[in-house]
Structure 1
Amino acid sequence: MSEPEVGDPLSPERFQAFIEQHGYLSWLNLTVEAVGDGYVEMRIPHDEKLVNPFPEGFERVHGGIAATLVDTASGFALRTTFDDPTDANLTTTDLDVSYLRPASDDLVATAEVVRAGGSMGVVDVTVESRKPSGERTEVAVGRASYRLFR
């Protein structure tokens, strides 16, 4: 993916500005890592406030954080299919998340549009984290459907 030009409607900075104005997403410290046509990569850094209250040494990120990332990355990926991504109007109609293994580090979601029609859109998302060994691994996969208001 090439570097975005100044004023590029698909620049990560334009999408990040939306997140900074959103209470919940900014509280999660969500960042937009990459944006392309039908594609978004986002990251939520590991933070103690996001882990389940398990015994010390067994802290795992709450599954709802991965689900939020699937939903948010899907919506942002679909925004790239609009003429003006920052002014897109859409809403989640279905969200499915399958958890593969616990996460104990940053979460990184890669979202790719499967279909963006006139009124409906579908996106597949993979959420990855790092194992204690440092290896990046899938921790969840998801699919979201959206109603698009074009």
Structure 2
Amino acid sequence: MAWTLEDEIAWTTRNPFRVHLGVDIERVSRDGSGDCEISLVVNDNLVQAYGMVHGGIHCTLIDTVLGTAVRSAFQQDIGPLTIDLNVSFLRPSGKGRIYSSATIVKMGRQIVVGVADVFDADRRRLATGRGSFALRESPRHRASEPA
């Protein structure tokens, strides 16, 4: 059983925080790599006093896309919970659509580590980060793995 783009979109529509922010699911890999991408439109409510995207939005996008990456990598919802998040802000940006892409770098039985970037519409990197996630549920074996 694969965790598809449609699964992640359905999961997002049941997540009040993602709905409130207006998160869109752009891409979810089907190969178990965890590669994925999300986006949102930065409006007046998501900028700080200087008119730039609030850094918390970059953190949120990185954390959010990494959760998507964990589900995609395990091809199921195993309840990833963030236990560590490190974000570096690289350049400011303003209103408009921004994107965040992620990939998993270490899949353990209890802890997963991933990396993610935030980009503007011109694909300039705005922020980069790394997150670690504890798994609430034990992953079920994939069909391609021995039981």
TM-score category (smaller protein) = 0.7 to 0.9
Aligned pair 1:100/2:90, yes or no? yes
- TM-score normalised to the size of structure 1? 0.82
What per-residue deviation string (whole Å, max 9, x for no partner) do you get for residues 25-74 of structure 1?
Answer: 101110110001211100011211111122xxxx2111101100100111
Q: Distance in 1 between matches of 2:8 and 2:93?
A: 25
Q: Distance in 1 between matches of 2:84 and 2:73?
A: 19
Match of 1:146 among 119, 133, 147: 133
Confirm or deny: 8 A CA contact 1:122 1:146 kept in the other structure.
yes
Confirm or deny: 8 A CA contact 1:66 1:107 kept in the other structure.
no
- Can you give the 5+ residue segments of structure 2 that lack an aligned partner in the other structure? 139-147
Q: Distance in 2 between matches of 1:136 and 1:41?
A: 13
Aligned pair 1:64/2:56, yes or no? yes
Confirm or deny: 8 A CA contact 1:19 1:25 kept in the other structure.
yes
Q: Distance in 1 between matches of 2:103 and 2:80?
A: 16
Q: Distance in 2 between matches of 1:45 and 1:66?
A: 12
Q: Distance in 1 between matches of 2:7 and 2:28?
A: 10
Question: Paired residue for 1:88?
Answer: 78
Aligned pair 1:76/2:68, yes or no? yes
Confirm or deny: 8 A CA contact 1:11 1:35 kept in the other structure.
yes
What per-residue deviation string (whole Å, max 9, x for no partner) do you get for residues 109-135 of structure 1?
Answer: 1100001111110000011014xxxx3
| Backbone CA RMSD of aligned residues | 1.5
Aligned pair 1:39/2:35, yes or no? yes
Measured after TM superposition, the shift of residue 103 of structure 1 is 1.7
- TM-score normalised to the size of structure 2? 0.84
- Can you give the 5+ residue segments of structure 1 that lack an aligned partner in the other structure? 1-7
Q: Distance in 2 between matches of 1:98 and 1:64?
A: 11
Q: Distance in 2 between matches of 1:19 and 1:9?
A: 17
